[in-house]
Amino acid sequence: MLRISALRLLGRRGARVSLSEDFSLRQYSSGPLGVRDDTRDSRAYFTTPIFYVNAAPHIGHLYSALLADALCRHHRLRVPSGAATGFSTGTDEHGLKIQQAAAAAGLAPSELCDRVSAQFQQLFREADISSTDFIRTTEARHRVAVQHFWGMLKARGLLYKGLYEGWYCASDECFLPEAKVTRQPGPSGDLCPVSLESGHPVSWTKEENYIFRLSQFREPLQQWLRGDPQAIIPEPFHHTVLQWLEEELPDLSVSRRSSHLHWGIPVPGDDSQTIYVWLDALVNYLTVIGYPNAEFKSWWPTTSHIIGKDILKFHAIYWPALLLGAGMSPPHRIYVHSHWTVCGQKMSKSLGNVVDPRTCLDRYTVDGFRYFLLRQGVPSWDCDYYDEKVVKLLDSELADALGGLLNRCTANRINPSGIYPAFCTACFPSEPGSAGPSGRAQAEDYALVSAVATLPEQVADHYDNFQIYKALEAVSSCVRQTNGFVQRHAPWKLNWESPVDAPWLGTVLHVALECLRVFGTLLQPVTPSLADRLLSRLGVSSTERSLGELHFLSRFYGHPSPFEGRRLGPETGVLFPRLDQSRSWLVKAHKT
Ligand code: MSP
């Protein structure tokens, strides 16, 4: 029997395993696969973390799911319709944390899981998360996948039995070395050991477990990350993982005594041990794509994991090592985001400051709250939440700027015919210098056309860099520019009856509607229902809403426009109502 501690592995190491049977790191040395290569291949699979069911969902959980949803929806806009795109989310239901939470609530673990998993499912339905699968780790299909995966590691000589002695943090479900543990006064005033990172209590554990030969994977992991600088985005997280890998990797205990942890998947052939919940949870990404049936191979590794920074080590070290160990490739991309705090404080049940996402969806509408979180959330650093910020942003960008623009350009008084007006090339020639006597466009108008023409590409680049907030900032800036264009030419002062005014009036409206069509198309991943209403109002059919079909202002570029002369869609009211400052909940929020 071997004895390991969280700090140091004592005793004999197993023979080195060959990683080259099914997987070759050579595929990474040919350079990173950019997202553009991905889209050429077009099959893609996005995942959210699976959520613990010890407590109800909060806005941080919703944020993880929204980032994945927006990335996935944007990918769908880029690829030919019908291209296969998978998107999974779900709940992480096993482990000590859940076992203890159920006991504290006086429930059977399965009851707690059913209850809280249903809350996540309902939240994601309400929030328009477009996942194609919702996995629960208590499902039979998952047990099959985990036990098969375990068998692969075992068959490859990567598991051995040893004595684990060290700290365990049930809240974070992780083993901690002494250096990551500190002492803090507990409820009775005594000093209690807690995790340095999370502040959660830890306890000393000493038991015989199965151990995974994680230490053997340090070099392959370094090779993977050095060969693909985009494997983990944003870059600082990639760098962090490489720094972690500068240190020795201790082997990892991957099971617990069943007498201590009964709520989990038993080790195949050894009922006295339960599989470590992180190994169990990570395999969910394979279960969803049909593992161990061969079909999973068409999805792996075209996978993009979206995760919070607190679970980086599990996804960027343990998971790729486990995959390599089982003869598979690491995931294609790991997108990492930071956390939401509330009024400057960490969100926590004990502080009583947990923000309920369903209340927010109710108050700000689904599209409004989605827009807020994705526009304000910056993956590289923590962001602070407070109600006034939401109101200010949504009123200014969705209600006033975007809604106002649509209203100005489609209102009956300005466009009584309800038709997508014609573009006059003599008024707005493609060459600024070639304008004849009817030329009316100014330098700023050309700047607007050029900004909106390059917007889809710019937005795609921001999505590739996991900077959805920048994509939205770019859209918002073009909306402002378009409002400036309309303001400059004041179409309400022009007269449809005048042969001099009419072609220019039509052109101003045509350009503004074309800009709105681009904004509506690009906003679909973030505000799907608002974008749908906007595009429907412009008369854009469902087959004309992909990036491939965009063809912005084709008349300006000398091509026919399918929209010119088309009837606009029916008037459906205000695009995004201003959040009335007199709402009672807001007054209350101001006072507190
Ligand atoms: N069950 C594990 C994940 C297993 S994945 C194989 C877990 N669950 S969790 O419910 O604690 O967290 C799920 C996600 O929510 C993580 O990505 C985490 O970073 C994210 N968030 C939790 N609190 C958060 C904030 N306050 N802000 C933003 N996201 C946060 O970890």
For ligand 1, atom 18, the nearest C-alpha belongs to 308
Does 583 or 449 have the greater pLDDT score?
449
Provide φ and ψ at 86, rounded to 5°: -100, 150
Ligand 1: atom nearest CA of 284 is 6
Tokens for 45, please give them: 């699979």
Q: Does residue 428 share a domain with residue 299?
A: no
What is the percent of the chain where pLDDT is above 90?
81
351 is a domain residue: no
The predicted model gives 405-425 an average pLDDT of 96
What does the alpha-carbon distance between residue 395 and residue 365 come to, in Å, rounded to a whole number? 12
Report the candidate in 92, 475, 76, 33 with the shortest Cα–Cα distance to residue 279.
92
Residue 556: give its domain's CATH number: 1.10.730.10
The strand pairing partners of 340, in sequence order, are 383
User: How far is the CA of 567 from the CAs of 77, 312, 534, 537, 539, in angstroms?
Assistant: 25, 51, 14, 10, 7
pLDDT at 572: 85
pLDDT at 12: 29
CB contact at 8 A, 69 and 87:
yes
**Going by C-beta distance under 8 Å and a sequence separation of 6 or more, which residues neighbour residue 564?**
420, 421, 422, 423, 510, 555
Distance 434 CA to ligand 1 centre (A): 57
Ligand 1: atom nearest CA of 319 is 6
For ligand 1, atom 19, the nearest C-alpha belongs to 308
For ligand 1, atom 24, the nearest C-alpha belongs to 60
Choosing from 88, 171, 310 the residue with most ligand 1 atoms within 8 A of its CB, the one to mutate for a pocket test is 310
Q: Does residue 280 share a domain with residue 190?
A: yes
Q: Any idea of the CA torsion for 192, 209, 179, 334, to the nearest 10 degrees?
A: -110
The predicted model gives 410-414 an average pLDDT of 94
591 is a domain residue: no
User: How far is the CA of 267 from the CAs of 146, 280, 495, in angstroms?
Assistant: 9, 11, 79
Length of the chain: 592
Indicate the helix (H) or strand (E) that contains 468: helix 468-489
What does the alpha-carbon distance between residue 129 and residue 497 come to, in Å, rounded to a whole number? 48
The predicted model gives 539-550 an average pLDDT of 96
52 is a domain residue: yes
pLDDT exceeds cutoff 80 at 193? yes
CB contact at 8 A, 347 and 58:
yes
Distance 307 CA to ligand 1 centre (A): 7
Distance 354 CA to ligand 1 centre (A): 14
CB contact at 8 A, 308 and 48:
no
Provide φ and ψ at 173, rounded to 5°: 50, 50
Does 34 or 385 have the greater pLDDT score?
385
Distance 591 CA to ligand 1 centre (A): 31
Domain span at residue 486? 400-567
353 is a domain residue: no
pLDDT at 584: 56
pLDDT bin (cut points 50, 70, 90) of residue 368 is: very high
389 is a domain residue: no
- Of 129-138, 256-265, 425-434, 476-485, the range with the lowest mean pLDDT is 425-434
The predicted model gives 567-576 an average pLDDT of 94
For ligand 1, atom 13, the nearest C-alpha belongs to 51
Neighbour tally for 488: CB within 10 Å: 12
Distance 98 CA to ligand 1 centre (A): 15
What does the alpha-carbon distance between residue 166 and residue 181 come to, in Å, rounded to a whole number? 11
Q: Does residue 456 share a domain with residue 308?
A: no
Q: Does residue 320 share a domain with residue 237?
A: yes
What does the alpha-carbon distance between residue 70 and residue 65 come to, in Å, rounded to a whole number? 9
Choosing from 339, 346, 372, 384 the residue with most ligand 1 atoms within 8 A of its CB, the one to mutate for a pocket test is 339
Q: Does residue 321 share a domain with residue 199?
A: yes
DSSP state of 403: I
pLDDT at 21: 37
For ligand 1, atom 10, the nearest C-alpha belongs to 51
Does 34 or 538 have the greater pLDDT score?
538
523 is a domain residue: yes
Q: Does residue 421 share a domain with residue 309?
A: no
What does the alpha-carbon distance between residue 498 and residue 242 come to, in Å, rounded to a whole number? 68
Distance 302 CA to ligand 1 centre (A): 22
What is the percent of the chain where pLDDT is above 70?
91
- Of 8-12, 131-135, 408-412, 435-439, the range with the lowest mean pLDDT is 8-12
For ligand 1, atom 14, the nearest C-alpha belongs to 61
Q: Does residue 409 share a domain with residue 327?
A: no
pLDDT bin (cut points 50, 70, 90) of residue 285 is: very high
Summarised one tens digit per residue, pLDDT across range 90-108 is 999 999 999 999 999 999 9
CB contact at 8 A, 163 and 3:
yes
pLDDT exceeds cutoff 80 at 585? no
The strand pairing partners of 191, in sequence order, are 185
Q: Does residue 330 share a domain with residue 408?
A: no
The strand pairing partners of 383, in sequence order, are 340
pLDDT exceeds cutoff 90 at 432? no
User: How far is the CA of 561 from the CAs of 199, 406, 410, 507, 556, in angstroms?
Assistant: 60, 20, 18, 13, 9
pLDDT bin (cut points 50, 70, 90) of residue 562 is: very high
CB-based pocket (< 6 A), ligand 1: 49-52, 60-61, 63-64, 92, 281-282, 284, 307-308, 310-311, 339-340, 347
- Expressed in angstroms, the distance from the first to the final Cα of the chain is 60
For ligand 1, atom 16, the nearest C-alpha belongs to 308
Residue 234: give its domain's CATH number: 3.40.50.620
4 is a domain residue: no
Residue type, 40: R
Q: Does residue 410 share a domain with residue 546?
A: yes
pLDDT at 336: 98
- Please provide the average confidence, as pLDDT, over all residues in the chain: 90
pLDDT at 351: 83
The strand pairing partners of 169, in sequence order, are 174
pLDDT exceeds cutoff 60 at 11? no
Distance 96 CA to ligand 1 centre (A): 17
Choosing from 61, 169, 376, 469 the residue with most ligand 1 atoms within 8 A of its CB, the one to mutate for a pocket test is 61
CB contact at 8 A, 517 and 540:
yes
What does the alpha-carbon distance between residue 522 and residue 82 come to, in Å, rounded to a whole number? 19
Split into its structural domains, the chain has a count of 2
pLDDT at 33: 20
pLDDT bin (cut points 50, 70, 90) of residue 3 is: very low
pLDDT at 439: 82
The strand pairing partners of 308, in sequence order, are 337
559 is a domain residue: yes
pLDDT exceeds cutoff 60 at 25? no
